[in-house]
Amino acid sequence: MQGGDKRGGGYQRRDDNRGGRPQNRDDRPRRDEGRDPDQRPIRRDHAPVRDVKSENQLSKAARERLNALRADYNPRDEDRHAGDPRDTYTDVPNGIRLQKALAAAGVASRRASEEMIAAGRVSVDGQIVRRFGARVDPEASEIRVDDMRVVTAPDKLYFALNKPRGVVSTMWDPEGRPTLADYAGQTAERIFHVGRLDTETEGLILLTNDGDLANRLTHPRYKVIKTYVAKVDGPVPHRVVRQIEKGVELDDGPVKVDSFRVVDNDSDQAMVEIRLHEGRKHIVRRLMEAVGHPVADLARTQVGPIDLNNLRLGTMRALSSREVGELYKAAGL
Which of 114, 91, 102 lies closest to 148, judged by CA? 102
Angle at which helices 321-330 and 211-218 pack, to 10 degrees? 50
Task: Judge whether 229 and 273 are in contact, CB under 8 Å.
Answer: yes
- Whether the CB-CB separation of 141 and 96 falls below 8 Å is answered with no
Adjacent-strand bridge partners of 11: 6
CA 20, chain centre distance (Å): 79
My answer on whether omega of the bond before 235 falls inside 30° of 0, hence cis, is: yes
Instruction: List the 127-128 sheet strands across, edge first.
Output: 127-128, 122-124, 143-145, 148-150
- CA dist 305 and 328 (Å) reads 10
- CA dist 190 and 192 (Å) reads 7
Pairing of strands 259-265, 158-163: unpaired
Alpha carbon distances (Å) from 323 to 125, 138, 320: 21, 18, 5
Enclosing H/E stretch for 262: strand 259-265
Q: Identify the CA nearest to 130 among candidates 115, 120, 144.
A: 120
Residue type, position 24, single letter: N
Catalytic residue among 182, 198, 258, 297: 198
Helix (H/G/I), strand (E/B), else coil: 211: helix
Q: For this structure, is 251 an active site residue? A: no
Catalytic residues: 198
